[in-house]
Amino acid sequence: MTPIMYPMRVTRQLLAEHRVAMLRQASRLFRAHGIDRVGVADITRAAGLTHGAFYGHFPSKAALASEACDASLARAADRWRALAAEAAGNGEDGLGAVIDRYVSPSHRDDPGGGCALVALGAEAARDPALVPGMTSGTEALLAALDDILATARPGVPAAERPGIALAVLAAMNGGVLLARALADRPDRSDAALTAARRAARRAAEFS
């Protein structure tokens, strides 16, 4: 006899809010300090809970990290689409707007609020438990870039778009990573951003 499971009605929403709060705080803390430097107690505390609430929501810290990467990158992809659409509405270059916002001093100086690919890509590549979320989230970024290219670069054949999206994303995240690695020399760091913006734009040219 399997016991009948009665669903909840109101608290279900609160449960989901707790879950999403943990995901959001975890994503922010992970990007800001690294996955290994953030404990589950830090995450639950930032979400207004205690560490006892954790394992009712996630099977493990690594599983949370994978989901956090995926969700964070998917939201970034949505923001890219919105930004590009807004720029296009103003008659500006949608792709250039995305590049300029990504390869910027403010992004460089705010890892906790920035792209998970730059902040956690290397860490995720090492841990097999994180690879699925990181791969899936990165594909979301690429899909967004592909769509943005379709309207912002109508001269680019559709068959070329995936490769160009990869090249643009590589120049973008490489530029931010390089700028962060040069943190001790601010002028060089700024120059890295300027050079990477240009490289990303050039990568989007079709010839």
Q: How many residues bind to DNA according to rule CB under 7 A?
A: 34
Which residue is it, tokens 């690294």? 34
8 binds, among DNA, its own copies, none (CB under 5 to 8 A by kind): DNA
134-173 positions binding its own copies, by CB under 8 A: 134-136, 138-139, 142, 162-164, 166-173
Q: Is 183 in the site for its own copies (CB under 8 A)?
A: yes
Answer for which of 32, 46, 53, 167 binds DNA (CB under 7 A) is: 53
Q: Which residues contact 172 (CB under 8 A, 6 or more apart)?
A: 99, 102, 103, 196, 200
Q: Which is nearer to its own copies, 57 or 98 (CB)?
A: 98
The rounded distance, in Å, linking the Cα atoms of 17 and 116 is 22
CB 56 within 8 A of CB 110: no
Does 56 interact with DNA (rule: CB under 7 A)? yes
Member of 60, 79, 163, 185 binding DNA (CB under 7 A): 60
Cβ-based nearer residue to its own copies, 18 or 111: 111
* Pairwise CA distance, residues 171 & 177, whole Å: 10
**Nearer CB in complex with DNA: 18/197:** 18
Structure tokens at 198: 């240009």
11 binds, among DNA, its own copies, none (CB under 5 to 8 A by kind): DNA
Asked whether position 64 contacts its own copies by CB under 8 A, the answer is no
Rounded to whole angstroms, the Cα distance separating 45 from 39 reads: 10
Please give the radius of gyration of the chain, using alpha carbons only, rounded to the nearest integer. 19
Residues 22 and 64: beta-carbon distance below 8 Å:
yes
Work out which of 50, 78, 86, 183 binds DNA, going by CB under 7 A: 50
**Nearest residue (CB) to DNA, 12 versus 185:** 12
